[in-house]
Structure 1
Protein backbone atom coordinates (compact mmCIF):
# COMPACT_ATOMS: atom_id res chain seq x y z
CA UNK A 1 0.00 0.00 0.00
CA UNK A 2 2.86 2.37 0.81
CA UNK A 3 4.49 1.59 -2.54
CA UNK A 4 1.27 2.42 -4.37
CA UNK A 5 1.06 5.83 -2.68
CA UNK A 6 4.65 6.58 -3.69
CA UNK A 7 3.93 5.67 -7.31
CA UNK A 8 0.86 7.88 -7.36
CA UNK A 9 2.76 10.80 -5.87
CA UNK A 10 5.49 10.36 -8.48
CA UNK A 11 2.88 10.50 -11.24
CA UNK A 12 1.48 13.68 -9.75
CA UNK A 13 4.95 15.22 -9.71
CA UNK A 14 5.45 14.38 -13.39
CA UNK A 15 2.05 15.76 -14.37
CA UNK A 16 2.74 18.97 -12.46
CA UNK A 17 6.16 19.30 -14.08
CA UNK A 18 4.61 19.00 -17.54
CA UNK A 19 2.32 21.92 -16.73
CA UNK A 20 5.16 24.00 -15.31
CA UNK A 21 7.28 23.40 -18.41
CA UNK A 22 4.38 24.41 -20.66
CA UNK A 23 4.03 27.65 -18.71
CA UNK A 24 7.69 28.49 -18.04
CA UNK A 25 9.83 26.44 -20.41
CA UNK A 26 12.47 23.91 -19.43
CA UNK A 27 15.23 26.43 -18.79
CA UNK A 28 13.31 28.47 -16.21
CA UNK A 29 11.30 25.72 -14.53
CA UNK A 30 12.69 25.06 -11.05
CA UNK A 31 12.05 22.20 -8.68
CA UNK A 32 10.64 24.77 -6.26
CA UNK A 33 8.06 25.75 -8.91
CA UNK A 34 6.87 22.15 -9.17
CA UNK A 35 6.75 21.78 -5.40
CA UNK A 36 4.81 25.03 -5.03
CA UNK A 37 2.27 23.96 -7.67
CA UNK A 38 1.68 20.73 -5.76
CA UNK A 39 1.64 22.39 -2.36
CA UNK A 40 4.48 20.23 -1.07
CA UNK A 41 8.09 20.77 0.00
CA UNK A 42 10.97 20.62 -2.46
CA UNK A 43 12.30 17.77 -0.35
CA UNK A 44 9.54 15.48 -1.62
CA UNK A 45 10.56 16.20 -5.22
CA UNK A 46 14.21 15.48 -4.37
CA UNK A 47 13.11 12.22 -2.72
CA UNK A 48 12.17 10.96 -6.19
CA UNK A 49 14.60 12.91 -8.37
CA UNK A 50 18.10 13.84 -7.27
CA UNK A 51 18.52 16.57 -9.89
CA UNK A 52 16.43 18.79 -12.13
CA UNK A 53 17.86 16.93 -15.14
CA UNK A 54 16.52 13.63 -13.81
CA UNK A 55 13.12 15.22 -13.21
CA UNK A 56 12.97 16.69 -16.73
CA UNK A 57 13.99 13.42 -18.38
CA UNK A 58 11.43 11.45 -16.37
CA UNK A 59 8.77 14.05 -17.15
CA UNK A 60 9.31 13.76 -20.89
CA UNK A 61 9.38 9.97 -20.71
CA UNK A 62 6.04 10.17 -18.88
CA UNK A 63 4.52 12.56 -21.43
CA UNK A 64 5.85 10.48 -24.32
CA UNK A 65 4.31 7.32 -22.91
CA UNK A 66 0.89 8.93 -22.57
CA UNK A 67 1.01 10.34 -26.09
CA UNK A 68 2.18 7.11 -27.69
CA UNK A 69 -0.44 5.11 -25.80
CA UNK A 70 -3.01 7.24 -27.61
CA UNK A 71 -1.34 6.65 -30.97
CA UNK A 72 -1.14 2.89 -30.41
CA UNK A 73 -4.81 2.85 -29.44
CA UNK A 74 -5.64 4.47 -32.79
CA UNK A 75 -3.47 1.95 -34.63
CA UNK A 76 -5.23 -1.01 -32.99
CA UNK A 77 -8.79 0.19 -33.64
CA UNK A 78 -11.02 -2.11 -35.76
CA UNK A 79 -11.51 0.55 -38.42
CA UNK A 80 -10.36 1.05 -42.03
CA UNK A 81 -6.78 2.36 -42.42
CA UNK A 82 -8.03 5.66 -43.86
CA UNK A 83 -10.24 6.29 -40.81
CA UNK A 84 -7.34 5.54 -38.48
CA UNK A 85 -4.96 7.68 -40.54
CA UNK A 86 -7.24 10.70 -40.11
CA UNK A 87 -7.28 10.10 -36.35
CA UNK A 88 -3.49 9.66 -36.27
CA UNK A 89 -2.95 12.89 -38.20
CA UNK A 90 -5.21 14.72 -35.74
CA UNK A 91 -3.08 13.42 -32.85
CA UNK A 92 0.17 14.50 -34.52
CA UNK A 93 -0.81 17.66 -36.35
CA UNK A 94 -0.01 21.07 -34.80
CA UNK A 95 -3.29 22.34 -36.25
CA UNK A 96 -5.43 20.28 -33.87
CA UNK A 97 -5.38 19.37 -30.17
CA UNK A 98 -1.70 18.48 -30.46
CA UNK A 99 -0.80 22.18 -30.85
CA UNK A 100 -0.37 22.62 -27.09
CA UNK A 101 1.76 19.48 -26.81
CA UNK A 102 4.01 20.69 -29.63
CA UNK A 103 5.20 23.58 -27.46
CA UNK A 104 6.48 20.97 -25.00
CA UNK A 105 8.16 18.83 -27.68
CA UNK A 106 9.90 21.77 -29.38
CA UNK A 107 11.28 22.85 -26.01
CA UNK A 108 12.38 19.27 -25.39
CA UNK A 109 14.15 18.90 -28.71
CA UNK A 110 16.01 22.16 -28.07
CA UNK A 111 17.08 21.16 -24.56
CA UNK A 112 18.03 17.71 -25.84
CA UNK A 113 20.88 19.27 -27.79
CA UNK A 114 22.63 19.71 -24.42
CA UNK A 115 21.09 16.85 -22.42
CA UNK A 116 21.97 13.37 -23.73
CA UNK A 117 19.38 11.63 -21.56
CA UNK A 118 16.59 13.90 -22.77
CA UNK A 119 17.79 13.56 -26.36
CA UNK A 120 17.49 9.78 -26.06
CA UNK A 121 13.91 10.11 -24.80
CA UNK A 122 13.00 12.38 -27.70
CA UNK A 123 14.65 10.10 -30.26
CA UNK A 124 12.74 7.07 -28.98
CA UNK A 125 9.46 9.00 -29.21
CA UNK A 126 10.19 10.03 -32.78
CA UNK A 127 11.15 6.48 -33.78
CA UNK A 128 7.96 5.05 -32.28
CA UNK A 129 5.75 7.64 -33.98
CA UNK A 130 7.38 6.75 -37.30
CA UNK A 131 6.93 3.06 -36.62
CA UNK A 132 3.20 3.58 -35.98
CA UNK A 133 2.70 5.67 -39.11
CA UNK A 134 4.68 3.20 -41.23
CA UNK A 135 2.73 0.23 -39.90
CA UNK A 136 -0.59 1.90 -40.73
CA UNK A 137 0.55 2.96 -44.19
CA UNK A 138 1.76 -0.58 -44.94
CA UNK A 139 -1.62 -1.94 -43.85
CA UNK A 140 -3.41 0.60 -46.04
CA UNK A 141 -1.22 -0.34 -49.01
CA UNK A 142 -1.95 -4.04 -48.48
CA UNK A 143 -5.69 -3.31 -48.46
CA UNK A 144 -5.50 -1.10 -51.53
CA UNK A 145 -6.49 2.09 -49.69
CA UNK A 146 -3.10 3.82 -49.94
CA UNK A 147 -0.99 3.98 -53.07
CA UNK A 148 2.66 4.77 -52.43
CA UNK A 149 5.91 3.07 -53.34
CA UNK A 150 7.60 3.14 -49.93
CA UNK A 151 5.73 3.30 -46.62
CA UNK A 152 8.82 4.32 -44.65
CA UNK A 153 9.68 7.15 -47.04
CA UNK A 154 6.07 8.35 -47.01
CA UNK A 155 6.11 8.36 -43.21
CA UNK A 156 9.29 10.42 -43.10
CA UNK A 157 7.99 12.96 -45.60
CA UNK A 158 4.64 13.33 -43.81
CA UNK A 159 6.15 13.70 -40.35
CA UNK A 160 8.94 15.99 -41.53
CA UNK A 161 6.35 18.28 -43.09
CA UNK A 162 4.28 18.32 -39.90
CA UNK A 163 7.36 18.84 -37.71
CA UNK A 164 8.34 21.90 -39.76
CA UNK A 165 4.79 23.18 -39.74
CA UNK A 166 4.69 22.85 -35.95
CA UNK A 167 7.90 24.85 -35.49
CA UNK A 168 6.55 27.68 -37.64
CA UNK A 169 3.16 27.74 -35.94
CA UNK A 170 4.54 27.59 -32.40
CA UNK A 171 7.67 29.73 -32.77
CA UNK A 172 5.95 32.29 -34.99
CA UNK A 173 2.49 32.31 -33.44
CA UNK A 174 -0.16 33.66 -35.79
CA UNK A 175 2.02 33.53 -38.91
CA UNK A 176 -0.36 30.95 -40.40
CA UNK A 177 -4.08 30.50 -39.98
CA UNK A 178 -4.98 27.06 -38.63
CA UNK A 179 -7.35 26.48 -41.53
CA UNK A 180 -4.62 27.18 -44.07
CA UNK A 181 -2.08 24.97 -42.30
CA UNK A 182 -4.64 22.17 -41.93
CA UNK A 183 -5.40 22.32 -45.65
CA UNK A 184 -1.69 22.06 -46.49
CA UNK A 185 -1.34 19.13 -44.10
CA UNK A 186 -4.19 17.26 -45.79
CA UNK A 187 -2.84 18.02 -49.26
CA UNK A 188 0.66 16.86 -48.37
CA UNK A 189 -0.49 13.67 -46.62
CA UNK A 190 -2.91 12.82 -49.42
CA UNK A 191 -0.18 13.24 -52.05
CA UNK A 192 2.16 10.95 -50.10
CA UNK A 193 -0.55 8.32 -49.59
CA UNK A 194 -1.75 8.50 -53.20
CA UNK A 195 -5.34 9.32 -52.24
CA UNK A 196 -7.86 12.07 -52.94
CA UNK A 197 -7.36 15.01 -50.58
CA UNK A 198 -11.10 15.15 -49.96
CA UNK A 199 -10.92 11.73 -48.29
CA UNK A 200 -8.93 13.30 -45.45
CA UNK A 201 -11.65 15.83 -44.70
CA UNK A 202 -13.01 19.22 -45.62
CA UNK A 203 -10.78 21.97 -46.96
CA UNK A 204 -12.53 24.42 -44.64
Structure 2
Protein backbone atom coordinates (compact mmCIF):
# COMPACT_ATOMS: atom_id res chain seq x y z
CA UNK A 1 0.00 0.00 0.00
CA UNK A 2 1.31 3.47 -0.85
CA UNK A 3 0.25 6.95 0.14
CA UNK A 4 -1.27 9.14 -2.51
CA UNK A 5 0.16 12.44 -3.61
CA UNK A 6 -2.16 15.40 -4.02
CA UNK A 7 -2.96 15.68 -7.72
CA UNK A 8 -6.45 17.03 -8.42
CA UNK A 9 -8.61 14.96 -10.74
CA UNK A 10 -11.47 16.34 -12.79
CA UNK A 11 -14.76 14.43 -12.55
CA UNK A 12 -14.76 13.98 -16.32
CA UNK A 13 -11.54 11.94 -16.04
CA UNK A 14 -13.19 9.24 -13.92
CA UNK A 15 -13.65 6.10 -16.02
CA UNK A 16 -16.47 3.59 -15.53
CA UNK A 17 -14.34 0.94 -13.84
CA UNK A 18 -13.05 3.47 -11.30
CA UNK A 19 -16.61 4.67 -10.66
CA UNK A 20 -17.77 1.13 -9.98
CA UNK A 21 -14.85 0.43 -7.65
CA UNK A 22 -15.55 3.70 -5.84
CA UNK A 23 -19.22 2.80 -5.41
CA UNK A 24 -18.26 -0.52 -3.85
CA UNK A 25 -15.62 1.07 -1.61
CA UNK A 26 -18.12 3.71 -0.51
CA UNK A 27 -20.57 0.96 0.43
CA UNK A 28 -17.81 -0.95 2.24
CA UNK A 29 -16.93 2.12 4.29
CA UNK A 30 -20.55 2.48 5.38
CA UNK A 31 -20.93 -1.19 6.26
CA UNK A 32 -17.66 -1.25 8.23
CA UNK A 33 -18.65 1.93 10.09
CA UNK A 34 -22.05 0.42 10.95
CA UNK A 35 -21.28 -3.28 11.52
CA UNK A 36 -17.55 -3.42 12.19
CA UNK A 37 -14.72 -5.00 10.23
CA UNK A 38 -15.27 -8.55 11.46
CA UNK A 39 -19.02 -8.55 10.73
CA UNK A 40 -18.78 -6.85 7.32
CA UNK A 41 -20.05 -9.29 4.67
CA UNK A 42 -19.68 -9.02 0.90
CA UNK A 43 -23.44 -9.40 0.37
CA UNK A 44 -24.12 -6.50 2.75
CA UNK A 45 -21.50 -4.37 1.01
CA UNK A 46 -23.08 -5.18 -2.36
CA UNK A 47 -26.51 -4.18 -1.07
CA UNK A 48 -25.18 -0.95 0.46
CA UNK A 49 -23.35 -0.14 -2.80
CA UNK A 50 -26.39 -0.80 -4.98
CA UNK A 51 -24.56 -3.38 -7.09
CA UNK A 52 -24.65 -7.17 -7.44
CA UNK A 53 -22.53 -9.52 -5.36
CA UNK A 54 -20.98 -10.75 -8.61
CA UNK A 55 -19.81 -7.23 -9.45
CA UNK A 56 -18.17 -6.89 -6.04
CA UNK A 57 -16.34 -10.18 -6.61
CA UNK A 58 -15.36 -9.07 -10.11
CA UNK A 59 -13.50 -6.00 -8.83
CA UNK A 60 -12.29 -7.44 -5.51
CA UNK A 61 -11.34 -11.10 -5.69
CA UNK A 62 -11.34 -11.68 -1.92
CA UNK A 63 -12.98 -10.12 1.11
CA UNK A 64 -9.54 -9.40 2.58
CA UNK A 65 -8.53 -7.53 -0.56
CA UNK A 66 -11.70 -5.43 -0.40
CA UNK A 67 -11.14 -4.59 3.27
CA UNK A 68 -7.53 -3.59 2.62
CA UNK A 69 -8.49 -1.43 -0.35
CA UNK A 70 -11.32 0.17 1.62
CA UNK A 71 -8.93 1.41 4.31
CA UNK A 72 -6.47 2.40 1.59
CA UNK A 73 -9.14 4.43 -0.20
CA UNK A 74 -9.94 6.41 2.93
CA UNK A 75 -6.22 6.93 3.44
CA UNK A 76 -6.03 8.42 -0.06
CA UNK A 77 -9.01 10.68 0.63
CA UNK A 78 -7.42 12.22 3.72
CA UNK A 79 -3.97 12.42 2.13
CA UNK A 80 -5.28 14.73 -0.59
CA UNK A 81 -5.96 17.40 2.02
CA UNK A 82 -2.97 16.62 4.24
CA UNK A 83 -0.66 17.35 1.32
CA UNK A 84 -1.84 20.98 1.39
CA UNK A 85 -0.45 21.42 4.90
CA UNK A 86 3.19 21.30 3.82
CA UNK A 87 5.23 23.69 1.74
CA UNK A 88 5.94 27.37 2.25
CA UNK A 89 3.39 28.02 4.99
CA UNK A 90 4.60 29.24 8.36
CA UNK A 91 5.22 26.04 10.37
CA UNK A 92 3.03 27.26 13.23
CA UNK A 93 0.16 27.71 10.77
CA UNK A 94 0.82 24.17 9.52
CA UNK A 95 0.49 22.79 13.06
CA UNK A 96 -2.81 24.58 13.70
CA UNK A 97 -3.96 23.71 10.18
CA UNK A 98 -3.32 20.01 10.77
CA UNK A 99 -5.35 20.20 13.97
CA UNK A 100 -8.24 21.85 12.14
CA UNK A 101 -8.01 19.31 9.32
CA UNK A 102 -8.04 16.46 11.84
CA UNK A 103 -11.21 17.80 13.46
CA UNK A 104 -13.18 18.78 10.36
CA UNK A 105 -11.50 16.65 7.70
CA UNK A 106 -12.83 16.19 4.18
CA UNK A 107 -15.90 14.18 5.19
CA UNK A 108 -18.35 14.50 8.07
CA UNK A 109 -16.92 13.73 11.53
CA UNK A 110 -19.13 10.79 12.66
CA UNK A 111 -18.79 9.04 9.32
CA UNK A 112 -15.04 9.48 9.20
CA UNK A 113 -14.19 8.69 12.81
CA UNK A 114 -16.69 5.86 13.14
CA UNK A 115 -14.76 4.21 10.33
CA UNK A 116 -11.33 4.91 11.79
CA UNK A 117 -12.36 3.61 15.21
CA UNK A 118 -13.05 0.29 13.50
CA UNK A 119 -9.56 0.35 12.02
CA UNK A 120 -7.94 0.82 15.42
CA UNK A 121 -10.06 -1.96 16.93
CA UNK A 122 -9.35 -4.37 14.07
CA UNK A 123 -5.61 -3.64 14.15
CA UNK A 124 -5.42 -5.36 17.52
CA UNK A 125 -6.61 -8.60 15.90
CA UNK A 126 -4.97 -8.47 12.48
CA UNK A 127 -1.31 -7.93 11.63
CA UNK A 128 -2.31 -6.95 8.08
CA UNK A 129 -4.71 -4.23 9.28
CA UNK A 130 -2.16 -3.17 11.90
CA UNK A 131 0.18 -2.35 9.03
CA UNK A 132 -2.48 -0.15 7.45
CA UNK A 133 -3.08 1.60 10.78
CA UNK A 134 0.64 2.32 11.04
CA UNK A 135 0.67 3.88 7.57
CA UNK A 136 -2.31 6.08 8.42
CA UNK A 137 -0.68 7.22 11.64
CA UNK A 138 2.49 8.09 9.74
CA UNK A 139 0.42 9.98 7.19
CA UNK A 140 -0.73 12.35 9.94
CA UNK A 141 2.54 12.38 11.86
CA UNK A 142 4.87 13.22 8.96
CA UNK A 143 3.73 16.78 8.11
CA UNK A 144 3.05 17.58 11.76
CA UNK A 145 6.49 16.47 12.88
CA UNK A 146 8.12 18.26 9.93
CA UNK A 147 6.43 21.52 10.96
CA UNK A 148 7.56 21.07 14.57
CA UNK A 149 11.13 20.40 13.42
CA UNK A 150 11.05 23.66 11.45
CA UNK A 151 9.83 25.49 14.55
CA UNK A 152 12.66 23.90 16.55
CA UNK A 153 15.27 24.87 13.95
CA UNK A 154 13.98 28.46 14.08
CA UNK A 155 14.23 28.52 17.88
CA UNK A 156 10.45 28.76 18.29
CA UNK A 157 9.94 25.72 20.53
CA UNK A 158 10.55 25.68 24.30
CA UNK A 159 14.06 24.65 25.29
CA UNK A 160 14.45 20.87 25.29
CA UNK A 161 11.19 20.23 23.41
CA UNK A 162 11.46 17.18 21.15
CA UNK A 163 9.48 17.49 17.87
CA UNK A 164 8.80 13.75 17.60
CA UNK A 165 7.51 13.42 21.17
CA UNK A 166 5.47 16.59 20.82
CA UNK A 167 3.89 15.31 17.60
CA UNK A 168 3.10 12.00 19.31
CA UNK A 169 1.42 13.84 22.17
CA UNK A 170 -0.68 15.97 19.82
CA UNK A 171 -1.82 12.93 17.85
CA UNK A 172 -2.64 11.01 21.03
CA UNK A 173 -4.79 13.87 22.29
CA UNK A 174 -6.47 14.11 18.88
CA UNK A 175 -7.35 10.41 18.94
CA UNK A 176 -8.61 10.47 22.52
CA UNK A 177 -10.83 13.49 21.92
CA UNK A 178 -12.13 11.91 18.72
CA UNK A 179 -13.36 8.92 20.70
CA UNK A 180 -15.02 11.19 23.27
CA UNK A 181 -16.66 13.17 20.48
CA UNK A 182 -18.08 9.98 18.97
CA UNK A 183 -19.24 8.68 22.35
CA UNK A 184 -20.67 11.95 23.65
CA UNK A 185 -21.57 14.12 20.64
CA UNK A 186 -23.77 16.35 22.78
CA UNK A 187 -20.97 17.25 25.17
CA UNK A 188 -17.99 17.01 22.81
CA UNK A 189 -18.90 18.66 19.53
CA UNK A 190 -16.08 19.06 16.99
CA UNK A 191 -15.87 22.76 17.89
CA UNK A 192 -15.20 21.83 21.53
CA UNK A 193 -12.57 19.35 20.41
CA UNK A 194 -10.88 22.01 18.26
CA UNK A 195 -10.82 24.46 21.17
CA UNK A 196 -9.23 21.94 23.56
CA UNK A 197 -6.62 20.93 20.99
CA UNK A 198 -5.60 24.48 20.09
CA UNK A 199 -5.37 25.52 23.76
CA UNK A 200 -3.25 22.48 24.65
CA UNK A 201 -0.92 22.92 21.66
CA UNK A 202 -0.55 26.65 22.34
CA UNK A 203 0.55 25.88 25.89
CA UNK A 204 2.89 23.03 24.90
CA UNK A 205 4.60 25.09 22.22
CA UNK A 206 4.94 28.14 24.46
CA UNK A 207 3.17 30.39 21.95
CA UNK A 208 1.92 33.76 23.20
CA UNK A 209 -1.79 34.51 22.84
CA UNK A 210 -1.48 37.07 20.02
CA UNK A 211 0.82 34.91 17.90
CA UNK A 212 -1.45 31.90 18.43
CA UNK A 213 -4.55 33.87 17.45
CA UNK A 214 -2.90 35.07 14.23
CA UNK A 215 -1.72 31.57 13.27
CA UNK A 216 -5.08 29.99 14.12
CA UNK A 217 -6.93 32.56 12.03
CA UNK A 218 -4.56 32.00 9.10
CA UNK A 219 -4.90 28.22 9.35
CA UNK A 220 -8.69 28.51 9.16
CA UNK A 221 -8.91 30.82 6.19
CA UNK A 222 -10.04 27.87 4.03
CA UNK A 223 -13.58 27.92 5.39
CA UNK A 224 -14.71 24.76 3.57
CA UNK A 225 -12.94 22.63 6.18
CA UNK A 226 -15.55 23.78 8.71
CA UNK A 227 -18.33 22.27 6.60
CA UNK A 228 -16.93 19.06 5.06
CA UNK A 229 -18.99 17.26 2.41
CA UNK A 230 -20.49 13.83 2.84
CA UNK A 231 -18.35 10.96 1.63
CA UNK A 232 -19.44 10.01 -1.90
CA UNK A 233 -18.28 7.59 -4.61
CA UNK A 234 -17.18 10.64 -6.62
CA UNK A 235 -14.90 11.81 -3.81
CA UNK A 236 -13.40 8.32 -3.49
CA UNK A 237 -13.01 7.93 -7.26
CA UNK A 238 -11.09 11.19 -7.51
CA UNK A 239 -8.76 10.03 -4.73
CA UNK A 240 -8.24 6.66 -6.42
CA UNK A 241 -7.08 8.39 -9.60
CA UNK A 242 -4.49 10.50 -7.83
CA UNK A 243 -0.95 9.41 -8.70
CA UNK A 244 0.48 7.42 -5.74
CA UNK A 245 3.94 7.92 -4.37
CA UNK A 246 5.96 5.75 -2.03
TM-score (norm 1): 0.82
Q: Greater share of helix residues, 1 or 2? A: 1
Trace 1:167-182 onto structure 2 (pairs within 5 A): 167-182=179-194
> Is 1:183 matched up with 2:183?
no
For the residues of structure 2 that align with 1:94 and 1:26, how far apart are their CA atoms?
A: 24
Return the match for 1:59 from 44, 50, 70. Answer: 70
Return the match for 1:6 from 4, 17, 30. Answer: 17
- Contact in 2 for aligned 1:95/1:182 (Cα 8 Å): no
Unaligned runs of 5+ in 1: none
Which deviates more, 55-64 or 178-187?
178-187
Q: Give 1:102's aligned residue.
A: 113
> Is 1:129 matched up with 2:140?
yes
Q: Give 1:46's aligned residue.
A: 57
- Contact in 2 for aligned 1:102/1:170 (Cα 8 Å): yes
Deviation of 1:81 after TM superposition, in Å, equals 1.9
Q: Secondary structure, in 3 states, of the residue corresponding to 1:50? A: coil
Q: Which has the higher contact order (CA 8 A, sep 6+)?
A: 2
Name the Cα RMSD after superposition. Answer: 2.7
Unaligned runs of 5+ in 2: 1-14, 218-246
Return the match for 1:152 from 164, 167, 174. Answer: 164
Kindly tell me the number of residue pairs found equivalent between the two proteins.
198
Which deviates more, 87-96 or 27-36?
87-96
Q: Secondary structure, in 3 states, of the residue corresponding to 1:93? A: helix
Structure 1 residues 150, 24: CA separation in 2 closer, same or farther (over 3 Å shift)? same
Deviation of 1:164 after TM superposition, in Å, equals 1.2
- Contact in 2 for aligned 1:138/1:151 (Cα 8 Å): yes
For the residues of structure 2 that align with 1:124 and 1:187, how far apart are their CA atoms?
A: 28
- Contact in 1 for aligned 2:100/2:194 (Cα 8 Å): no
Which deviates more, 140-149 or 80-89?
140-149
Deviation of 1:97 after TM superposition, in Å, equals 6.3
TM-score (norm 2): 0.69
- Contact in 2 for aligned 1:169/1:176 (Cα 8 Å): yes
Structure 1 residues 117, 11: CA separation in 2 closer, same or farther (over 3 Å shift)? same
Structure 1 residues 91, 98: CA separation in 2 closer, same or farther (over 3 Å shift)? farther
For the residues of structure 1 that align with 2:49 and 2:195, how far apart are their CA atoms?
A: 41
For the residues of structure 2 that align with 1:153 and 1:51, how far apart are their CA atoms?
A: 39
Structure 1 residues 29, 79: CA separation in 2 closer, same or farther (over 3 Å shift)? same
